[in-house]
């Protein structure tokens, strides 16, 4: 569940320059936000956890009957010592057994990988954190002896009875090295915003003056290659996204219904 809509908050920063006297707090804030988005995008949109509220449905053990319908109808119409199979067999669904345990668990499958659980709302009330856990970065397992609700009234807000929701955080923690990269990039953005000389590559590729020719890196090509021309920034990008990936890898299942994300 990637956050394609941008970093959810500004990245931490270690300033590496003195602020120009003409730099306003508003400009400094813009520089931090812009630097956060640039590094988030160039590093493959993989860093910076975002909180997402999900409205899941409980996982069932059997998505389809284990027999064909003709076999099932023949079996159900035959004399047996058990009650009607159509009512008896589904009782195991929603309480899935494990190959490692004799017991069963009540669980739901969340989009993976889950970074952490913020809160689980049940009938408008937050559950205690000890009443659930996350397995395999995606299975929300209930531990209080109860089952997850089979139904979830999606026509109501998750603060009302008959509803439940999971607010989870997705994404990787921001590496420590990003602080220095943020400081270098944001400093140059502030300098450019106040009209001072900065080290950001200009649009000019070559400048000839008084017999001296100066070559500048092509900023368009640098951005295509996922680089900026700034040493600490490019060092961070080379270590965290050496192949220049545009976004982190994803896995989609076309067979399982997706979990609803609210207000998206």
**What's phi and psi for 33, nearest 5 deg?**
-65, -40
Please give the pLDDT value at position 86: 39
Give the chain's residues under pLDDT 50: 2, 62-78, 80-94, 204-207
**Could you give the CA distance from residue 124 to residue 159 in angstroms, rounded to a whole number?**
4
Contact 131, 143 (CB under 8 A): yes
Q: 218's torsion region: left (phi>0), alpha (psi -120 to 50) or beta?
A: beta
Please give the pLDDT value at position 18: 84
**Could you give the CA distance from residue 220 to residue 202 in angstroms, rounded to a whole number?**
10
Same domain, 44 and 175: yes
- Tell me which of 100, 132, 163 is where a domain ends: 163
Same domain, 159 and 181: no
Same domain, 111 and 188: no
Q: What is the pLDDT of residues 89-111, one digit of tens each?
A: 333 334 555 556 666 788 888 88
Q: Provide the token pair at 111.
A: 């989009």
Please give the residue range of the domain that contains residue 157.
55-163
Q: Which of 55, 220, 66 is nearest to 149 (CA)?
A: 55
**What's phi and psi for 130, nearest 5 deg?**
-80, 0
Same domain, 225 and 152: no
Same domain, 39 and 59: no
Contact 75, 44 (CB under 8 A): no
In Å, what is the CA distance from 122 to each residue of 56, 64, 118, 161?
A: 12, 28, 14, 8
Same domain, 176 and 100: no
Number of domains in the chain: 2
Same domain, 178 and 253: yes
Same domain, 151 and 246: no
């Amino acid at each position: 569940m990637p956050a394609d809509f941008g970093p959810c908050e500004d990245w931490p920063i270690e300033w590496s320059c003195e602020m120009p006297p003409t730099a306003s707090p508003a400009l400094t804030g813009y520089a931090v936000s812009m630097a956060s988005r640039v590094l988030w995008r160039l590093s493959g949109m993989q860093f910076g956890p975002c909180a997402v509220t999900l409205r899941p449905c409980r996982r069932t053990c059997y998505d389809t009957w284990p027999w064909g319908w003709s076999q099932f109808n023949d079996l159900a119409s035959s004399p047996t010592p058990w009650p009607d199979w159509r009512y008896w067999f589904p009782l195991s669904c929603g309480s899935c057994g494990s190959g490692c345990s004799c017991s069963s668990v009540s669980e739901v499958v969340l989009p993976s990988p889950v970074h952490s659980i913020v809160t689980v709302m049940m009938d408008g009330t937050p559950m205690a954190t000890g009443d659930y856990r996350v397995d395999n970065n995606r299975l929300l397992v209930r531990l209080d002896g109860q089952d997850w609700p089979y139904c979830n009234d999606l026509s109501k807000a998750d603060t009302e009875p008959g509803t439940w929701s999971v607010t989870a955080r997705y994404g990787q923690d921001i590496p420590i090295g990003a602080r220095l990269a943020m400081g270098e990039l944001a400093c140059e953005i502030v300098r450019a915003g106040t009209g001072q000389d900065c080290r950001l590559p200009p649009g000019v590729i070559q400048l000839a003056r008084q017999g001296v020719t100066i070559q500048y890196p092509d900023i368009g090509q640098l951005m295509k290659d996922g680089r900026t021309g700034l040493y600490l920034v490019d060092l961070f990008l080379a270590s965290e996204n050496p192949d220049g990936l545009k976004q982190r890898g994803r896995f989609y299942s076309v067979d399982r219904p997706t979990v609803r994300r609210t207000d998206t």
